[in-house]
């Protein structure tokens, strides 16, 4: 399976909202409600921010939200803060116990 497509970079000012897209196919994103999003700071392990398209794990800020339409999932970060500057990856179940990650998006706070 090919990597899911994400924009290479997205930027925003503190307090603003940004949205990161994640485009796949009907065999992954469009076929299952099993999309998760991970935040990764430099030299750190990824951390789950969203699962099952739009659910937040305990302890994750409600400034993070997820959605999906067709073959494209989205992560929205509202009220941008300095600590949100990181790389973000989407991940989708692809059937038959396979998973695929997105290409990754670097979020920059202006």
For position 42 contacting another protein by CB under 8 A, the verdict is: no
- The phi-psi region of residue 25 (left if phi > 0; otherwise alpha if psi is between -120 and 50; otherwise beta) is beta
Q: How far is the CB of 13 from another protein (least distance, A)?
A: 26
Q: How far is the CB of 99 from another protein (least distance, A)?
A: 4
Which residues, 6 or more positions from 14, have their beta carbon under 8 angstroms from its beta carbon?
80, 81, 82, 109, 110
Only segment of 21-29, 63-71, 78-86, 96-104 that touches another protein (CB under 8 A) = 96-104
For position 36 contacting another protein by CB under 8 A, the verdict is: yes
């Amino acid at each position: 399976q090919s990597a899911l497509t994400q924009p290479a970079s997205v930027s925003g000012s503190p307090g603003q909202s940004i949205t990161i897209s994640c485009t796949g196919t009907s065999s992954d994103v469009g076929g299952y409600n099993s999309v998760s999003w991970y935040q990764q700071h430099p030299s750190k392990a990824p951390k789950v921010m969203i699962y099952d398209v739009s659910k937040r794990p305990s302890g994750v800020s409600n400034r993070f939200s997820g959605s999906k339409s067709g073959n494209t999932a989205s992560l929205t970060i509202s009220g941008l803060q300095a600590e949100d500057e990181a790389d973000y990856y989407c991940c989708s179940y692809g059937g038959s116990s396979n998973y695929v990650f997105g290409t990754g998006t670097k979020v920059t706070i202006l």
